[in-house]
Amino acid sequence: MEQVGLFPVLAVSAALFLLGVIGVLTRRNILIVLMSVELMLNAVNLSFVAFARHHGTLDGHVFAVFVMAVAAAEAGVGLALVILLYRNRHKVDLDDLNLLKG
Amino acid sequence: MSPLTPPPVLVPEGLSQDLAAFAPAFVIFGAALIILLWEAVVRPADKRVFMGFSLTAILVALGLNVGVAVEDRLGFSGMVSFDAYSVFFNSVFLISAALSTLLSHDYLERVGVRIGEYYSLVLFGLFGMMLLGMGADLMLLFVGIEVMSIAFYCLSAIKRTDARGIESGFKYFIMGAFASGILLYGVSFVYGATGTTSLQGIRAAIEGGVHGGMLGLGVAFIIAGFLFKIAAVPFHMWAPDVYEGAPASVTGYMATGVKAASFAAFGRVLFVAFLGLKDDWAAPLMVIAAVTMLLGNLVALVQDDLKRMLAYSSIAHAGYMLMALVAVDAESVGLNGQVSGLLFYLLAYTFMNLGAFAVLTLMAGDRDDLTSIKGLAGLSTRNPAVAAGLALCLFSLAGIPPTMGFVGKFYLFAAAVRADYVGLAVIAALSGAIGVYYYLRPIVVMFMQEGGEPLSIRPTAASVGALAIASAAILYFGLFPSQLIELCQAGVLSLVG
């Protein structure tokens, strides 16, 4: 079976990461921003796994599992915060986060 | 052999020593779990027991950390590094957590947060910091950052009815998760270029001639991720909002503990893994250090709110500390002389900032944090002891002798001059002079103005105790810094080994 090389996988990973970054920076809906952050983390996982196969070591696979576990914990806390926000203001939009001015 | 015989258990070499050296972190983690169960099962009405229990656990861990001599070694298959550097930073985190716990209970009662899990989150955050101080592998450092950060996302929003607290927690969460993503992407590139995530392994690979765009990109992303965590310009914009919105006791802990932990990991990554690339990262970091301290001090000038002023001043202090990371020679001798100033300054900052936040928790009204500088008017006649303590902390933050902050600043500036970064030292001194103005303003208000409508300040034993401990440490180490400086130097020496 023909194997996919390292660089096509890295290119997909970079594209996903970039999409995630753009999503975080431009979208105003909080849920979509959360999804974009998850997209960034999954792009990182792809890149770790690709490098792990390239090097023939297990470190990258293990790292990807750690990232998934942490992402799950983060999503839990993040969604809890979204619910708190919604109870407080009945809206989930980044533009409404304006009580504190930076 | 019968088929039911279990396979022999393989005990890794040195496991018992590893476990003994890791004991302080175990104590903290165990105590956090116990509080979680305790609150869920018993739900005691008076949350003071949790404060006592947390403090006991922290003091036991501090005793184990300082008292049990550990030889320099890598434990747990090279994941964790036990050395003077980690012992020093663990002590800083434990002191920061102890002081924050001490000033938490009465403040939380006053603002109406009666949640026992608060103390468990404080300890989980502390556990994450300790992983950051000890981690010798990017994998463990990542886990440490997340354990710490997730605890702080929850702590910032712990007051569930307070819209500002929730907003602060959410902003911190989005920014923190974004920064973690960038840091991780950098880690994956460094892993791709060197084939390892261990800091020693990366160093060996770089010395063995690994170079190129992928490694450079990875290092840049990792540095950007850390700059987010320490709130350096241009990644600082979350800090003032988060610091202002979070409860005062959390902000004090965040500004000292999280900053110290991020610097501990940042320093270890830069000096153990990436020292060979120093010529590439020193120049950009120097510019960032200069801009960070100027911007932090200039914006702090125009703040009328004490909490927000301290948030911007915290950005400025991150700039001073970055200076220590930059002002380093690639040779280990230079490393010792210059970087030890960072360790000293972080401990000094922990004492002086938490001292100031102890007063902020006293200023809190029944509902919200009322922390305007004007509210301090006439404090010196109503509560001379509290006013004197706050004045001492602010003097120390401004870097006026004979305080610990002065010794720390002197040490940092001298290191920068010795490493031929005279321009950076001049910028630091100038922005420090700006700082003196806004630190003195609350003191003038406290001692020379009679209040129109003074805030009600009701000192409580625990918070005043925290302020007293911080003030005593600021004065003692300001007058007799030599022993502490030796400890800092031993810490840095153990890093380069």
Q: Select from B154, B181, B185 the Cβ nearest to the Cβ of A37.
A: B181
Distances (CA, A) of A74 to A37, B150, B242: 10, 7, 18
Query: Looking at the domain assignment, is residue A48 inside a domain?
Result: yes
Residues in A closer than 8 angstroms to B238, CB to CB, are: 102
Instruction: Give B295-350 pLDDT, tens digit per residue.
Output: 999 999 998 888 889 999 999 999 999 988 887 765 555 566 677 889 999 999 99
Instruction: Give B231-262 pLDDT, tens digit per residue.
Output: 998 889 899 999 988 999 999 999 999 999 99
Please give the pLDDT value at position B295. 94
Query: Looking at the domain assignment, is residue A51 inside a domain?
Result: yes
Query: Looking at the domain assignment, is residue A102 inside a domain?
Result: no
Among residues B103, B128, B112, the alpha carbon closest in space to that of B465 is found at B103
| Partner-chain contact A99 B238, CB within 8 Å | no
Please give the pLDDT value at position B369. 58
Q: Label residues B322-348 b or e (16+ Cβ within 10 Å = b).
A: bbbbbbbeeeeeebbbbbbbbbbbbbb
Asked if the C-beta of A58 comes within 8 angstroms of chain B's C-beta atoms, the answer is no
Query: Looking at the domain assignment, is residue B475 inside a domain?
Result: yes
Query: Looking at the domain assignment, is residue A76 inside a domain?
Result: yes
Mean of the per-residue pLDDT values for chain B? 89
Please give the pLDDT value at position B305. 87
Mean of the per-residue pLDDT values for chain A? 90
Residues of chain B short of pLDDT 70, as ranges, are 1-4, 329-337, 365-370, 451-456, 496-497
Asked if the C-beta of A74 comes within 8 angstroms of chain B's C-beta atoms, the answer is yes
Query: Looking at the domain assignment, is residue A1 inside a domain?
Result: no
Name the residue range of residue A37's domain: 6-96
pLDDT average, residue stretch A63-79: 95
**Number of domains composing chain B:** 1
Q: Select from A44, A50, A55 the Cβ nearest to the Cβ of B181.
A: A44
Probe site for chain B from A10, A42, A81 (most B CB atoms < 10 A): A81
The DSSP-derived string for B335-381 is HHHHHHHHHHHHHHHHHHHHHHHHHHHHH--SSS---BGGGGTTHHH
Residues in A closer than 8 angstroms to B295, CB to CB, are: none
Query: Looking at the domain assignment, is residue B121 inside a domain?
Result: yes
Query: Looking at the domain assignment, is residue B1 inside a domain?
Result: no
Asked if the C-beta of A90 comes within 8 angstroms of chain B's C-beta atoms, the answer is no
Please give the pLDDT value at position B8. 73
Residues in A closer than 8 angstroms to B182, CB to CB, are: 40
Backbone angles phi, psi at A93, to 5 degrees: -135, 135
Please give the pLDDT value at position B211. 84
| Partner-chain contact B166 A73, CB within 8 Å | no
Query: Looking at the domain assignment, is residue B376 inside a domain?
Result: yes
Q: Select from B139, B166, B245 the Cβ nearest to the Cβ of A85.
A: B166
Query: Looking at the domain assignment, is residue A47 inside a domain?
Result: yes
Please give the pLDDT value at position B74. 87
CA distance B229 to B257: 12
Residue A32 belongs to domain with CATH number: 1.10.287.3510
Please give the pLDDT value at position B71. 77
Please give the pLDDT value at position B2. 56
Whether residue A2 is predicted with pLDDT greater than 70 in this model: the reply is no
Residues in B closer than 8 angstroms to A33, CB to CB, are: 174
CA distance A97 to A30: 10
Name the residue range of residue B371's domain: 15-496
Query: Looking at the domain assignment, is residue B7 inside a domain?
Result: no
Please give the pLDDT value at position B67. 86
Residues in B closer than 8 angstroms to A74, CB to CB, are: 146, 150, 173, 177, 180
CA distance B472 to B403: 10
**Number of domains composing chain A:** 1
Query: Looking at the domain assignment, is residue A59 inside a domain?
Result: yes
Instruction: Please give the residue of chain B at the shortest CA–CA distance from A89.
Output: B163
Q: Select from B153, B182, B196 the Cβ nearest to the Cβ of A59.
A: B196
Residues in A closer than 8 angstroms to B296, CB to CB, are: none
Instruction: Give B123-159 pLDDT, tens digit per residue.
Output: 999 999 999 999 999 999 999 999 999 999 999 999 8
* B232 contacts B173 by C-beta, under 8 angstroms: no
Please give the pLDDT value at position B13. 77
Instruction: Give B379-392 pLDDT, tens digit per residue.
Output: 888 888 999 999 99
Reported ipTM? 0.95
